[in-house]
Amino acid sequence: MRIYGLLGESLKHSISPMIHSLILKGINEEGTYELYEVEKQEVKNSINKFKELGAVGVNVTIPYKTEVMKYLDKISEEAKKIGAVNTICFKNKITIGYNTDYTGFGMLLKNNDIDIYNKKALVLGSGGAAKSVIAYLNDNGIGELTIVSRGANKIEDIHYKKQYDIIPYAEISKLENKDIIINCTPCGMYPSVDICPIEKGSIAKFSTVVDLIYNPKETLLLKYAKELDKKAVNGLYMLIGQAVAAQELWHDRKISSSIINSIYERVKVEKYD
Ligand code: NAP
């Protein structure tokens, strides 16, 4: 049996096994995708064990996306830039780390016809997901980027080609109109569903709102955006996209958009209906 899985600390509510088994079925590949909950001190051993077992590929989630990097043989360019790995390929006993949150975010934009070229964006948060989003925006022609952080004065590790503004939340109300806001904080995620990371009035300055959160289907931020007649997109397509991109790396093949979209529709029904 070909081995795939997810390495993390607390994985009880993960829907990755469901998503990956749908992908494996969609591309006619055999295998089992299991959850591997481990303590920090077990991460290195886990990687060695996967190698010994001949695992094909493993995803990595909170809080080990950075920790795992020091135990891998090679790191892809985008993962180096972001400083986090969420996908490991085991090829001829060599371990290679990638970041498919980056790719998944790009797939979400494409699927929703969100054009970022020369546009003005506001990214909320400065954690792992924010870094993938910022790297993608930077690599794909964003015009202007502002990062909002509770510790705006303390951030030092977001270094990309251009220098971006990093502001505290209190300054959002002073901003001029922009194109897109991307929530990369957990504010509004289940069970804290009555929290919105910014005031409703500030949302009026944007034409598109993307929330990386996928549980609930519609966060308070997205609800406000819809009430203001803005384009509002949740993070489910990115979740599917990062899983598909991992499978593409593991199998060294492209997966067609018709397979991706049918998996997305299926997961939507399973998760939200
Ligand atoms: P993380 O590394 O913990 O970063 C979250 C960031 O949000 C923090 O660095 C912090 O930035 C900010 N933050 C945290 N608590 C906050 C609060 N109470 N109020 C305001 N800001 C707060 O987490 P992550 O991995 O980046 O994930 C962030 C969110 O994205 C989660 O909801 C996760 O489920 C979602 N996500 C979705 C996908 C997908 O595929 N759709 C992929 C990855 C993550 P500052 O300290 O700078 O304020």
- Which segments within the chain are labelled E, that is strand? 3-8, 32-37, 57-60, 74-75, 87-91, 94-98, 120-124, 144-148, 165-167, 180-183, 208-211, 231-233
Pair (34, 93) in one structural domain: yes
Query: How far, in Å, from the CA of 258 to the mean position of ligand 1?
Result: 30
**How many domains are contained in the chain?**
2
Q: Is the CB of 235 under 6 A from ligand 1?
A: yes
pTM for this entry: 0.95
Q: Are residues 222 and 154 part of one domain?
A: yes
Spatial distance between the Cα atoms of 172 and 170, rounded to a whole number of angstroms: 6
Q: What is the pLDDT of residue 229?
A: 98
Phi, psi (rounded to 5 degrees) for 8:
-165, -170
Ligand 1 mutation pick, 190, 212, 233, max ligand atoms within 8 A of CB = 212
> Measured from the CB, is residue 88 less than 6 Å from ligand 1?
no
- Statement to judge: residues 169 and 139 lie in one domain: yes
Q: Are residues 156 and 222 in the same domain?
A: yes
Residue 64 belongs to domain with CATH number? 3.40.50.10860
- The pLDDT tens digits for 120-174 are 999 999 888 999 999 999 999 999 999 999 987 666 655 554 568 899 999 999 9
User: Same domain, yes or no, for 227 and 254?
Assistant: no
Look at residue 1 in the predicted model and tell me its pLDDT.
84
Residues 125 and 182 in one domain: yes
pLDDT digits (tens, 9 = 90+) for 14-33: 999 999 999 999 999 999 99
Which one-letter DSSP state was computed for residue 32?
E
Q: Which pLDDT score is estimated for 127?
A: 86
Angle between helices 257-272 and 236-251 (to 10 degrees): 130
Catalytic residue among 40, 49, 51, 65: 65
| Same domain? 225 vs 243 | no
Phi then psi dihedrals of residue 234, to 5 deg: -90, 180
- 126 C-alpha to center of ligand 1: Å? 7
Ligand 1 centroid to residue 48 C-alpha, Å = 29
Ligand 1 atom closest to the Cα of residue 129 is 26
CATH, residue 147: 3.40.50.720
With a cut of 50, which residues of the chain have pLDDT below it? 161
Give yes or no for residue 104 CB within 6 A of ligand 1.
yes
CB 126 within 8 A of CB 149: yes
- Alpha-carbon distance of 79 to 87, in angstroms, equals 9
Q: How many Cβ atoms are within 10 Å of 82's Cβ, its own excluded?
A: 27
> How far from chain centre, in Å, is Cα 228?
26
Tell how far the Cα of 183 is from the centroid of ligand 1, in angstroms.
8
Q: Structural domain of residue 92, as residue ranges?
A: 3-99+237-272
Q: How far apart are CA 123 and CA 172, in angstroms?
A: 11
CA 94 to centroid of ligand 1, rounded, Å: 31
Shared domain for 107 and 217, answered yes or no, is yes
Domain match, 201 and 116 both? yes
Residue 213 and residue 116 share a domain: yes
Going by alpha carbons, the residue nearest to atom 9 of ligand 1 is 127
Whether residue 65 lies in the annotated active site = yes
